[in-house]
Chain A
């Protein structure tokens, strides 16, 4: 109950128009998959949208259209509103941009506003559309940009990622960002490990409910497919989309063959869990009861961290 009195905490997604924020947001938040974003037009005027996730976080996407003067005006008049209560600023740079100086200028304006209004915010920079750079140039170009950005950001610190919607780098970057937003993530992982070991699972994944990003996982041995987190996320999101066409959503799933059994179920108010057993002879009912019992335990963890979380960040 105390919870609802805290203003929601913001994740700002910003960047010059055309840098790829809208596509990015659409893909991560399960609205479109990569190839559909070609249908999204360039954002004209100022567009603001928001998505709730992880319970008390709101992702605010501010996209200010191409007009430079407009962006500057909007900035000065609405600045304090926009930059208050910011947990995280994610700034997107188009790696192919011809106006590097201007990009940096806008970035610095944002940083100034952050320093004034939310000095404890975490800053992430995404150097995006890396697929447009020649493969052998990518590391070099990214390192250059990263150095520049870290330098320009002082006294604030920023973490940089190189991303593209056409491979797993985008997913990995967002997973890392969301991972850092989770309160007491180490404790969560420890509990997940205990849970997995008790029920003799091969792998346990914890997903954030809105995005299906893997926020924590446990595995007891090497798995063949290193890209499986992103694949599973996409598979489930795709199915979620299909269900939404029928104005329904899925609650739980069980998939088996002679080599495995996997269970996906609602876990806590912010998460889904996936349990993979390589011993398919263990009856489903046993695993499902275990998940149900674990759920109560994890719910308690989440509740305890909630209000504490907002206090820690101030």
Chain B
């Protein structure tokens, strides 16, 4: 809810526990053209009404959420059962484990927990002869940007065009004097691609905050007199100048995506050049996605339209995903 429906973390305390499978189709509001299936904590694979084979076959990534603040031994057992079953049906699936609610833990405790879970999960897999099954682990919390960062990484692994996007970004920033650029999904603030320079969490957070400002201000002043139109549209753009020569520059790329760049004030003086380069970049991005849509139509149910499923164990009343 926090990532894809803009809920503030405090409001999630009032979300009810997931009792049945909840399918969330966010393909209309977000670039992430996925369906998110939220499973209740206690899932019974032997229940005949639950056709897990069908579900897993069309799945690109499975996110298993473990509550770090709770005893996770049972969670690990269920994790093992779940991924083994899924792997049998679809060995191409990505398996992602979110070690969640880490906001309450100290840094040492976080690292220790991750190490322990990683160790145990992989031991279980080796014992079962499933060494080829790869698990990725992420420490997450809805109270900071880590959950957004984790979702970003999970989504990026599913985007076939990622290398092309990264390449385009690299070319763009090196020719425009830009330090860092993120291609953001505006609604969820997940970034689907960035250039090859290292990602610094603080920069990512600053860009997220900029998107908040832009959308919020646009909601107040950016609608037409009768209330129609949308806050984020084709002409959306923003420039924020900080007192330490940093400039943040946001430009609309598609109706879901925005490019957020970080650069120096002196580089920004060549705004004309930057805007021209951006124009070329934007055109290229549109072409990349048009190709993607065309090939998808031909190949029907390929894993490019991936279904991401999130299985929450220990379905406590605080269901944060």
Contacts and interface: CB of A to CB of B under 8 A. Distances in A.
B240 A260 contact: no
Interface residues of A, number: 32
B152 interface: no
A250 B265 CA distance: 13
A251 B236 contact: no
Interface of B is mostly: mixed
Interface in B173-221: 202, 205-206, 209-210, 212-214, 216-218, 220-221
Interface of A is mostly: mixed
Interface string A198-210: 0000010000000
B223 interface: yes
B91 interface: no
Nearest to B213: A239
Contact of B209 (A35, A231, A239, A257): A239
Contacts, number: 96
B223 A235 contact: no
B7 interface: no
Interface string B216-245: 111011111101010111111111111110
A253 B240 contact: yes
A166 to B, nearest CB: 13
Interface in A216-238: 224-225, 228, 231-232, 235-236, 238
Contact of A231 (B220, B229, B236): B220
Contact of A242 (B205, B221, B227): B205
A251 B243 contact: yes
A97 to B, nearest CB: 28
Contact of A235 (B205, B216, B242): B216
A237 to B, nearest CB: 11
A35 B9 CA distance: 11
Contacts of A262: 217, 221
B242 A248 contact: yes
A259 B213 contact: no
B239 A242 contact: no
Contacts of B235: 256-258, 280
B246 interface: yes
A250 B231 contact: no
7 contacts: A243-B206, A252-B239, A255-B213, A255-B214, A255-B238, A257-B232, A280-B235
